């Protein structure tokens, strides 16, 4: 058997995502911490690539790519991210999705901030031709230091799913399904050593149109720096949808590793 790999992806059902690559300092100065980035802070960029290829008794291909950009000022943060995953075994596609995300946070006091968030997901193995979401709300900085951050937030938004095949969702056979959703979220980042950092984010999205239904999204990631530009990355993603449609799994998970590069 021949195998080559930039990284490894171990996948449950589809819907892979990789946690954010960029770890940026807090936007406001805390005494003893890093200096203020200023209102004209530069953009920061990161990208990660991982995959594997085998041939012989089993022919398989796996590839995951992630790109992220962030612009930080003294009182705001704009984050843009794109993530893609593809897997094929014996000429049969076993996973394929593309995820786009943008979020803007702006502080209106030392501890409180407002946010706006847009998401788009394409995942045919999960019967999602296109899922689009828009949310807005407020959040609170529970912890804000140069080495540790922890935010909690909540808000409202709207999500619309368009399906690859008609799905039995919310008691009816549908080609698409739109609904108002709430969002309750917490996220944190931690610098464990000079070279090692971790991040995690949990979001719960209750369906306000169909009581009792909800989605859960959890991402966790580890980054170990090789030098100032390169790092080894690992991530785990968990997705739960209480009403994805008949014949579609409620839970999607993915493990990924890869090599990341950062630049300003």
**Tokens linked to 242:** 């209480």
**Tokens linked to 57:** 């008794």
**Tokens linked to 197:** 């950092």
Residue 40: per-residue pLDDT: 53
- Residue where the block lists tokens 């790109």: 67
Residue 23: per-residue pLDDT: 54
Q: How far is residue 49 from each of residues 7, 29, 125, 137, 161, measured CA to CA in Å?
A: 8, 33, 22, 33, 28
How far is residue 175's CA from residue 177's CA, in Å, rounded to a whole number? 7
- Collect all residues with Cβ–Cβ distance below 8 Å to 172 and sequence separation of at least 6: none
DSSP 217-252: EEEEEEEEESSSSEEEEEEEEEEEES---TTS-SEE
* Average pLDDT per 10 consecutive residues for the chain, totaling 264 residues: 35 36 48 40 85 82 89 90 88 86 95 96 92 98 93 98 94 95 96 95 96 94 92 90 91 85 85
Q: How far is residue 142 from each of residues 151, 153, 158, measured CA to CA in Å?
A: 6, 10, 27
Largest interatomic CA distance in the chain:
60
Query: Is residue 118 within 8 Å of 81, Cβ to Cβ?
Result: no
Q: Identify each DSSP E strand in 56-171 by its residue range.
A: 60-72, 76-89, 92-107, 112-123, 128-144, 148-169
- Three-state SS for 172? strand
Residue 22: per-residue pLDDT: 56
Residue 65: per-residue pLDDT: 87
The correct CATH number of 2-263 out of 1.10.1050.10, 3.40.50.1100, 1.10.3720.10, 2.40.160.40 is: 2.40.160.40
Residue 258: per-residue pLDDT: 86
- Collect all residues with Cβ–Cβ distance below 8 Å to 238 and sequence separation of at least 6: 216, 217, 218, 219, 251, 252, 253
- Three-state SS for 125? helix
Q: How far is residue 4 from each of residues 58, 84, 169, measured CA to CA in Å?
A: 14, 20, 41
How far is residue 141's CA from residue 21's CA, in Å, rounded to a whole number? 21
**Tokens linked to 168:** 């039995």
């Amino acid at each position: 058997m021949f195998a080559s790999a930039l990284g490894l992806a171990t996948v449950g059902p589809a819907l892979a995502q990789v946690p954010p690559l960029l770890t940026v300092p807090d936007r406001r100065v805390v005494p003893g911490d890093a200096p203020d980035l200023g209102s004209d802070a530069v953009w920061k960029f990161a990208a990660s690539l991982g995959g594997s290829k085998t041939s012989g008794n089993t022919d398989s291909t796996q590839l995951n790519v992630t790109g992220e950009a962030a612009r930080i000022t003294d009182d705001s943060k704009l984050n843009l991210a794109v993530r893609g995953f593809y897997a094929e075994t014996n000429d049969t596609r076993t996973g394929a999705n593309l995820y786009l995300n943008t979020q803007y946070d702006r502080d209106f006091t030392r501890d409180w901030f407002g946010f706006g968030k847009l998401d788009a997901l394409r995942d045919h193995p999960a019967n999602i031709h296109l899922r689009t979401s828009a949310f807005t709300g407020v959040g609170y900085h529970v912890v804000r230091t140069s080495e540790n951050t922890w935010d909690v937030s909540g808000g409202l938004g709207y999500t619309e799913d368009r399906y690859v095949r008609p799905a039995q969702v919310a008691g009816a056979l549908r080609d698409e399904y739109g609904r108002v959703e709430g969002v309750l979220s917490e996220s944190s980042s931690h610098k464990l050593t000079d070279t090692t950092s971790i991040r995690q984010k949990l979001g719960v999205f209750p369906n306000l149109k169909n009581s009792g239904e909800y989605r859960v999204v959890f991402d966790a990631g580890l980054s170990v720096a090789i030098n100032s530009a390169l790092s080894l990355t690992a991530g785990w993603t968990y997705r739960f949808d209480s009403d994805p449609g008949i014949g579609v799994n409620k839970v999607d998970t993915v493990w990924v590793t890869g090599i990341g590069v950062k630049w300003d």
